[in-house]
Structure 1
Amino acid sequence: MTARHDQMTARLMAHFGGTAMLTVPGGRDPDSPEWDPVFLPDQHVMVQAIVTGAELDLIAGGAIQASDMVVAMLPHRDVVPTPACRLTVAGISHALLDVQPVRSTPDGAVIYYRLHGRA
């Protein structure tokens, strides 16, 4: 990203953003033998996010419930969110129904992830 983008992101996060906890399910260790599987613990990662809300036409159309949460999450160097993850904001855990990477160009770096969660 450019220095200007980083400055704008920092200003937006300082004014509107906060931290949230992304929980990545552990699953089975692929290096463990099938006859003696080892299951990894869940990974809890603090991420920066802005709760943006949903467009009224999506709520009216039934795609999103009024109690759902839509979040813009900054990329994190250790984890990429998937629908198998959970996002905890203000003590409330949300299952991720949809995760969409947002890029400035089709093959560009991810600017942020749009997460649709439901408690």
Structure 2
Amino acid sequence: MVDYVRLEATAQRLIAANGKAVTLVRAGAPTGPEWDPQPGPDTEHAAIMVETGYSLAYRSETLIQAGDKLGLISTDLDIAPAMSDKIKIDGDTYEFIDLQPLNPGGTTLLYQFQARK
């Protein structure tokens, strides 16, 4: 039987050892009257990621564009990342193009993402 909790701990440890700090930015909840809602302030959440990058072979005639960021985000977070979130990497803000949990056996081990400016 596979111990997914142990695999998640290993993924967290490896991403922390080889990754870098980033920030997940989540849009704030709307405030104000129902007929005139105003966007609430964004909330920022610390995260650790490893940039996996891509080769030119992956870029030709695919959905990956020059400047896209591909990587893995640790599950050691206070929120689960969502497609509507943004990610700040090295001071630049990117929108998620794709965000998928790797979750065999019902335990999320890490999040794989593609993000674009």
TM-score (norm: length of structure 1): 0.78
Q: Deviations over 1:63-107 (max 9, x none)?
A: 1012100120012442122222111111111111111111123xx
- 1:13 maps to which residue? 16
Q: Which runs of 5+ in 2 are unaligned?
A: none
Aligned length: 114
Alignment of 1:33-48 (within 5 A): 34-35=34-35, 37=37, 39-48=39-48
After superposition, residues 32-111 of structure 1 pair within 5 angstroms as 34-35=34-35, 37=37, 39-54=39-54, 56-105=56-105, 108-111=106-109
SS in 2 for 1:110: coil
RMSD: 2.4
Report the identity percentage.
Answer: 24
Q: Which is richer in strand?
A: 2
Unaligned stretches of 5+ in structure 1? Answer: none
Letter in 1 for 2:115: G
